[in-house]
Amino acid sequence: APGRVPLVLAHGSSDDGLCWTNFAKELESGFDIVMIDARGHGLSDPPKAGDPVDVQADDLAGLIRELKLDRPIVMGHSMGSFAAAAFAAKYPGVPRAVVLEDPNLANRPAAPAGGASGDPEARRGAVLARNNQSETALMESCMKQTPKWGRSECEIWAPSKRRHHPDTALGRGVGARPSMAELFAKITAPVLILKAHAEGEARQQNEQVTGILKAGQIVHIEGAGHNVRRDEKQRTLDALRPFLAKVGGSARPPSE
C-alpha cells in the first residue's frame, strides 16, 4: 500500500512465510507486510551445495531490491533472526529497523558430530518422516505439545512441516558462521530483541550481547519459550508496538 512502511518477516527453520499469518493480521493496518519463504521452505527452491552461510541475508536483499521496498523494517524468528541480523550487518543502509525474535545471543556450541543431531543424513531422514505425516497427525501433535498456541496457529504450522525440504538438513552453508556479537558490531539500524523468558546468568548474558548494538534494546517476554510470539502473542505485541511506532511505522490500527 502506498505510504506504508514495508515490514519483511523471515520465519524460523521448518516453518514458512504463512506461519506469520496470525501475527501479521495484528499489524497489517499499519504496514505493507511481506512474508518470505526461505530456501527449502514453503514454495521456495531448496538450498544448493556451496551456498554461503549467509545466503539467506542475500536472499532478503534480493527480495527487497526486486520488490523495490524502501527502507523496510525486517523481523526474523530463530533461523530468520540470523538472516535478518546478517542482512542488517551486510547491508547497513537498507533496513529502517530490525526485530529479532529469540535469536541465539550466547552462541551456544553446536551439537556434537555423533548422534542424529550431528549427522546430516539422520537429520534428512527426520525431515522426510515429518513431510510424510498427515496434516491431521501434525495438527494433533501441535495441539498436544503447544496447547497455548491455539488451534488456528497449529492449523497454519502443520502444513509448513510437509513443505520443509529435506535438503535443508545437509548443512548450514559454506564458510564460518558469525556469532550474533560479531554481527551486532556491524549493525547501524535500531534493533529490538524479543527474547524467550530467562533468569539470572542467561538473562545477563543476553543483555551483555545486546549492549554491543549501537541502538539496541532487549525485552525478555515473560512466560515465552523459543516461539515467543506464538507462546505469548499479546505480550510480544505490547513490547513490539512502541518500537515500531518509534522507528516510523503506524503500529496501531487506525481509529476509524
The answer to whether residue 169 scores a pLDDT higher than 60 is yes
Q: Are 74 and 195 in contact (CB under 8 A)?
A: no
Mean pLDDT of 173-191: 96
40: domain CATH number is 3.40.50.1820
Would you list the DSSP string of 2-19? Answer: TTPEEEEEEPPTT--GGG
Cα–Cα distance between 53 and 197 in angstroms, integer?
28
Query: What pLDDT score was predicted for residue 172?
Result: 77
Specify if 126 maps to a domain. no
Task: Tell me which amino acid residue 171 is.
Answer: G
Confidence of residue 118 (pLDDT cuts 50, 70, 90): low
The answer to whether residue 119 scores a pLDDT higher than 70 is yes
The answer to whether residue 73 scores a pLDDT higher than 90 is yes
Query: What pLDDT score was predicted for residue 114?
Result: 37
Mean pLDDT of 195-202: 97
Cα–Cα distance between 127 and 167 in angstroms, integer?
9
Specify if 118 maps to a domain. no
Specify if 172 maps to a domain. no
- Could you tell me what percent of the chain has a pLDDT over 70? 92
Query: What pLDDT score was predicted for residue 109?
Result: 54
Specify if 44 maps to a domain. yes
Cα–Cα distance between 208 and 92 in angstroms, integer?
22
Which has more confidence, 182 or 171? 182
Cα–Cα distance between 15 and 156 in angstroms, integer?
9
The answer to whether residue 113 scores a pLDDT higher than 60 is no
The answer to whether residue 70 scores a pLDDT higher than 80 is yes
Confidence of residue 108 (pLDDT cuts 50, 70, 90): low
Confidence of residue 254 (pLDDT cuts 50, 70, 90): very low
The answer to whether residue 256 scores a pLDDT higher than 60 is no
Query: What pLDDT score was predicted for residue 3?
Result: 81
Query: What pLDDT score was predicted for residue 41?
Result: 97
Mean pLDDT of the chain: 93
Domain with 68, as residue range(s), is: 5-108+177-247
Confidence of residue 16 (pLDDT cuts 50, 70, 90): very high
Specify if 256 maps to a domain. no
Specify if 51 maps to a domain. yes
- Could you tell me what percent of the chain has a pLDDT over 90? 86
Which has more confidence, 64 or 256? 64
As for how many domains the chain has, the answer is 1
3-state secondary structure of 41: coil
Specify if 158 maps to a domain. no
Specify if 29 maps to a domain. yes
Query: What pLDDT score was predicted for residue 49?
Result: 86
Query: What pLDDT score was predicted for residue 248?
Result: 83
